Amino acid sequence: MLKKGNETNKLLFTTGMAWLFDAMDVGMLSFIIAALKSEWNLNETQMGWIGSVSSIGMAIGAILFGILADYFGRKDILIITLLLFSIATGFSAFTTSYALFLILRFFVGAGLGGELPVASTLVSESVPVKSRGKIVVLLESFWAGGWIIAAVISYFVIPSWGWRVALLISALPVFYALYLRYGLKENSIAQNKRIAKQSSLKENLLNLWSSQYYKTTIMLWTVWFMVVFSYYGMFLWLPSVVILKGYGLMHSFGYTLIMTLAQLPGYFAAAWLIEKWGRKWVLTIFLTGTAISALGFGSASTLFSLLFFGILLSFFNLGAWGALYAYSPEQYPTTMRASGTGIAAGIGRLGGILGPLMVGKMITKQYSFTFIFIIFCVAIMLAVLVIIILGKETKNTKLE
């Protein structure tokens, strides 16, 4: 375990930068979808599929690389996932067809989906117990930094130089992966335990549903599904929803940038509260705030209400994400921690497939945004209910 503060900070920054690059890609995609609509004459269903095929890749990547991380180590798999999404993003900048763009987005999603649970597991195993939750939430806060950079790049680059240049910028993390090869260290204690007690895939899957863990597994799978379903349904459509509410492309990018800035204080608030109130209640409160904000955003009829509820939506939703990433790895022992977290994230990504597609279909059939966001509100409150009933508090719990 890392005992020195500077070592913990170095680990946080090193893995956090990988997290930031992931967020840049996801954040930029929401703006690129809006740009591709006019350039490739896409309808709402085709726009929805761009987000959904990324989520299909993320589902497979989270499960596959989560399992591999329990066998080959967190560090090596983290580097592979970063390389995969960076290279696929670079290639996608040169595509001229919708079909090829979808194929490459699948591989980008696989890299992204694998990187996130592996990174959070690595950090969870390597920091002091008393600050573990705070550190993992701060790791997740790099996601907000990536979204903000994505919004800035999209606002200034896409209108002048096009979405291809934006994607090439997003592919630069391929060089960072080379740095990780030498600059990142895996916790040797956790690594030795994992090797000594290495379980088979069949054993890990059975253990998820053993009498000791089945309630935890039901809780995590449900929460991940509902949170990812609502997040990708709402945030991948955010610039497009603003446009469909009557504002131009440039205004949409600018307003989304303002909303995105609220992600950082959301993370910092969750990081501060998570060691005081505990993981379970911080996650519950921030998800409840997300549900209420979604309802307000969907029914917003003025610019002020649109920005107000959009800011609250970013604040609460991304704070909840930070708490979820801190909470998930603490549910399972070392030998099945990465695979358990990865499979839960993979189940969640199935919701990420459904969310963007549902919004596209419902917009095509002229359902109101109020009705669409009511669905997200209900989904999030279902997750809250499951956490309250089945969730256990893991604050100050020493990882096995």
The closest alpha carbon to 328, from 220, 232, 172, 228, belongs to: 220
Angle among Cα 17, 21, 27 to the nearest 5 degrees reads 135
- pLDDT digits 0-9 by tens, 2-54: 445 677 777 888 788 877 888 888 778 877 887 888 889 888 888 878 878 88
Band the pLDDT of 183: cuts 50, 70, 90: low
CA distance 349 to 57: 8
Say which residues have a Cβ less than 8 Å from residue 20's Cβ, sequence separation at least 6.
142, 143, 145, 146, 149
Say yes or no to pLDDT of 358 above 70. Answer: yes
Band the pLDDT of 317: cuts 50, 70, 90: very high
- pLDDT digits 0-9 by tens, 331-345: 888 778 878 888 898
Read off the pTM.
0.76
Most confident of 26-35, 91-100, 141-150, 206-215: 91-100
Say yes or no to pLDDT of 231 above 60. Answer: yes
What local confidence, expressed as pLDDT, does residue 302 receive?
85
- Dihedral sign (CA 156, 161, 165, 166): positive
User: How much of the chain exceeds pLDDT 90, in percent?
Assistant: 23
Q: Which CATH number applies to 5-184+195-390?
A: 1.20.1250.20
Q: How far is CA 16 from CA 8, 68, 162, 171, in A?
A: 12, 21, 28, 17
Cβ count within 10 A of residue 387: 22
**What number is the average pLDDT over the span 275-299?**
93
Say yes or no to pLDDT of 250 above 80. Answer: no
* Residue ranges per structural domain of the chain: 5-184+195-390
- Dihedral sign (CA 111, 112, 116, 119): positive
Say yes or no to pLDDT of 77 above 50. Answer: yes
Say yes or no to pLDDT of 198 above 70. Answer: no
Angle among Cα 184, 87, 94 to the nearest 5 degrees reads 155
Average pLDDT value over all residues in the chain:
83
Cβ count within 10 A of residue 72: 13
